[in-house]
Structure 1
């Protein structure tokens, strides 16, 4: 018997690895031994606690590369663990457990990846969130905003890199200050082509614009790299109305009293006519 791991990235790339000393093929996947994967014991228990395990290996040009790992191409990957009879893998394999790829650490040419059981998905928020802000994602079915509209898209070119996450860009001078804040940046060229990252801030200057990303890229952007920027939304009623003219699809409750209302009191000179607290 031996172990085999099938890793499926968010972009659809599928990789197979085994701790056996020869390649194995089953379930439509070729499992390679060249990565030198080594698995640890899996601790499982009753209840809803998240089970964890680890795999360790070395970087290989034909398998997992350090560049792809740094670029985040393995974030959120799905890992399936098989027990395999290596003498008859086509019929003698059994899916033991399914994991999400967790924390990945690197040391030289070696890496160690944490595997978290599917129980961790129970920590995710499900259903509606009742609050003043919208709980839909910009552009999804509940929101209804067409993100492909030219007015919401900008094509920018990197002019200078101030540091890993802050960029000076050109090509978006016609967009208002903050237009792409909380939006998405999709890299169109350069070492990060094909990757997406959230935008933390967008500041307009007389000589161009400054974009700050939520996190630094695995490969530092270079002057001349291009990226496609999509407008962002801070999920407030005012933004939904003024920026997107989409108030009919607003999925929040802007008139919901909050802590400021509960602790407030009627003061002399205030307006107390029962009107909306949202302008």
Structure 2
């Protein structure tokens, strides 16, 4: 219905159209922008004219080819900030773009729907790659034959529930952190290295919603967790963290730490390279069976 109204308006010859952008971050924050000179509102979202986004030409194709474009805009304190970009709050955010009749917002049509890709910043502005819905077709499909597990801990293939208190811990931070190294007290019930390879998520404070992969977990009474990369946001004393146990993808870990070996998604008994170059030897029996070295 809305598209029909827009088509009727375009056939009039004199048009009153603009673009509207909806950015929805993974933490639930929703931002609306328009290149019109006044605010517009529909679907419960206000599209603000200041600090708006602009885009290069959007080319739509039929079939399964990938539709990608780019957007650029300015950094500001009340919209898209450099701190939020650095913290990764816009990574994989969903984007929808409409062509809208600004004096009757019921007349509109979606021009693009996808996600934000790589973001670069500089000179008070930023430029973001927009990936269309067919971008997922660029991802590798199928399984790899590896000795280690190819599933992610807790996903549908792994099938392991992480809600048990032995594998997930909500903890109040006693000392401020630089966003990469965290000093924890009162977690002596967990063995050293228990969270290594797991996930640290910030539940409150300025860094709420950010997460990182845990590189090392050392110490007993005073634990020291180090992330592979910093969170790029301040983490203060009193902020709450959620720690999830790590998995190194080995079959012995799956069996002894998680008791989940029936769902192990690797091939631990796959022969190695030595087996591939095995040849008959005079000191072995030759019964027609498999060669071993």
Work out which of the residue numbers 194, 202, 206 in structure 1 matches 2:209: 194
Which residue does the alignment assign to 2:52? 36
Which residue does the alignment assign to 2:115? 100
1:192·1:221 contact (CA, 8 Å) conserved in 2? yes
Farther off after superposition, 7-16 or 47-56: 47-56
Distance in 2, matches of 1:150 and 1:266, equals: 54
Which residue does the alignment assign to 1:20? 36
Larger radius of gyration: 2
Distance in 1, matches of 2:53 and 2:220, equals: 53
* Count of equivalent residues: 270
Farther off after superposition, 48-57 or 247-256: 48-57
Within the alignment, does 1:75 sit opposite 2:91 as a pair? yes
The CA deviation string for residues 80-103 of structure 1, in whole angstroms up to 9 with x for no partner, is 12122222221x211112232012
Which residue does the alignment assign to 2:255? 241
Farther off after superposition, 214-223 or 18-27: 214-223
1:158·1:226 contact (CA, 8 Å) conserved in 2? no
Distance in 2, matches of 1:265 and 1:173, equals: 52
The change in CA–CA distance for 1:226 and 1:267 in structure 2 (over 3 A counts) is farther
TM-score by length of 1: 0.82
The CA deviation string for residues 187-208 of structure 1, in whole angstroms up to 9 with x for no partner, is 13332123222212212x2552
Work out which of the residue numbers 136, 139, 142 in structure 1 matches 2:154: 139
1:72: Cα distance to partner?
A: 1.6
Distance in 2, matches of 1:134 and 1:267, equals: 34
1:19: Cα distance to partner?
A: 0.8
Which residue does the alignment assign to 1:229? 243
Q: CA RMSD in A?
A: 3.1
Which residue does the alignment assign to 1:218? 232
1:124: Cα distance to partner?
A: 1.5
TM-score by length of 2: 0.79
Distance in 1, matches of 2:120 and 2:147, equals: 39
Work out which of the residue numbers 70, 75, 78 in structure 2 matches 1:54: 70
SS of aligned partner of 2:166 = helix
Distance in 1, matches of 2:236 and 2:38, equals: 41
Farther off after superposition, 143-152 or 21-30: 21-30
1:228: Cα distance to partner?
A: 1.6
Distance in 2, matches of 1:178 and 1:266, equals: 44
Work out which of the residue numbers 123, 137, 146 in structure 2 matches 1:122: 137
Within the alignment, does 1:7 sit opposite 2:23 as a pair? yes
Distance in 1, matches of 2:251 and 2:125, equals: 49
The change in CA–CA distance for 1:265 and 1:219 in structure 2 (over 3 A counts) is farther
Distance in 2, matches of 1:173 and 1:251, equals: 31
1:51: Cα distance to partner?
A: 4.1
* Unpaired segments ≥5 residues, structure 2: 1-16
Distance in 2, matches of 1:265 and 1:72, equals: 53
The change in CA–CA distance for 1:249 and 1:206 in structure 2 (over 3 A counts) is closer
